[in-house]
Amino acid sequence: MSEESEIVRIAAKGDGVTADGRHVRYAAPGDTLLPDGSLSPGPHHAVPPCRHFGTCGGCQLQHCDEASIARYVTERVAFAAQSQGVAIGEMLAPHLSPPRSRRRCALHALSAGGKPVIGFREAGSHRVVDMRECHILRPELFALVPALRALLARRKGRFAVDIELALTDQGVDCALANLPVEGLEETEALLTFAQENRLARLTLDQGYGPEPVWEPEPATVSLSGIPVGFPSGSFLQATVDGEAALAGAAREWLAGAGVVADLFAGLGTFSFPLAETGKVLAVEAARDAHLACKGVAGRSGRPVHAMHRDLFRNPLQPDELNRFDAVLLDPPRAGAREQVSRLAESTVARIVYVSCNPSSWARDAARLVEGGYRLERVRPVGQFVWSTHVELASLFLR
């Protein structure tokens, strides 16, 4: 390398990129790549707050300030649309969740040298970082890590436990998988752990599916102020503020729509807010989530009708879709190729597409545009603080 190069943007996986296309780890926009390969920090370079950054796979962007992360989140969406030839009418300012706001996570626990190691995996590795601090998790979740470490420290032999934590209305929902429990002593230790830490629920999966062993009262999550039963392992937006940003965009863009179809509705994250002003059909394939939504729909007083249907194998057809004033869809990361193709053939006036994967969203957006829709506006959302994971809400008009 013979001359200095400025870092001009952040690549999809978090590396800094120079104007001539070189990728540099832990480089922020405005940094200077020196001839000897070292970095001279620029105005957007931040000091990572966590001691585990660089090893833990939970964060990729702690070396970047908020302004450069906001730009990254926006560019991820813009570049994805551009790659598919889709024009964005209006790109709205991104919403970024603050530190210590994530209310769900998947951790791992291993026995190492006779002691438990608990945390996220290292980037690109099966090794687990022994988490001693975390700047992304809600304090209620991180507070459980030392307690889990103490619980597992009493066990003999080797183990590899998967841990899912979610913050519900009643407290932390803790699900443990691959943890053998044998005999009265181990069972009592688990119940004591749940009671002392005031868990909302403790669930065990020993190879036969999740079974709750502690749940003083039914665990719920509130959606638009309505407590909805929370089946263990169900999908939940990562942060409360991120959910509010996505739901707020949907509510604003679909204002005045009398009848809305909410596809891939889950527990009703968008169904219940949208039902404040109109009727909603909530369509979901996962039976537990469907039943939870259906169970509370009648008691909520809001006009939500829950339908159990696999939209991948049996998407709503154009003649079914044409009965609705608007459609909202929030599919998994793979997108919704078949359902989007049917939407492209419909006469639905407004579509709000919420996505957790700009790449699959852009592919589906191109199909909608091909079918006669225009992409009116997009709101990028960075719920996973310091992560390369990007979400968005988008509005399509016919």
Cite the active site residues: 356
Q: Which residues contact 187 (CB under 8 A, 6 or more apart)?
A: 181, 213
Buried b (16+ CB within 10 A) or exposed e, 370-382: ebebebebbbbbb
66-83 vs 358-370: helix crossing angle, rounded to 10: 40
Known binding residue 133? Answer is no
Q: Is there a binding annotation on residue 53?
A: no
SS3 of residue 347 by DSSP: coil
Alpha helix (H) residue ranges in the chain: 66-83, 139-142, 144-153, 183-196, 240-253, 271-274, 287-300, 318-321, 337-344, 358-370
Helix (H, G, I), strand (E, B) or coil at 126: coil
167 in Cβ contact with 104 (< 8 Å)? yes
Please tell me whether 237 is known to bind a ligand: yes
Residue 288 annotated as binding site: no
Given a contact cutoff of 8 angstroms between Cβ atoms, the answer to whether 134 and 127 are in contact is no
Annotated binding site: 237, 264, 284, 330
Annotated binding site for S-adenosyl-L-methionine: 237, 264, 284, 330
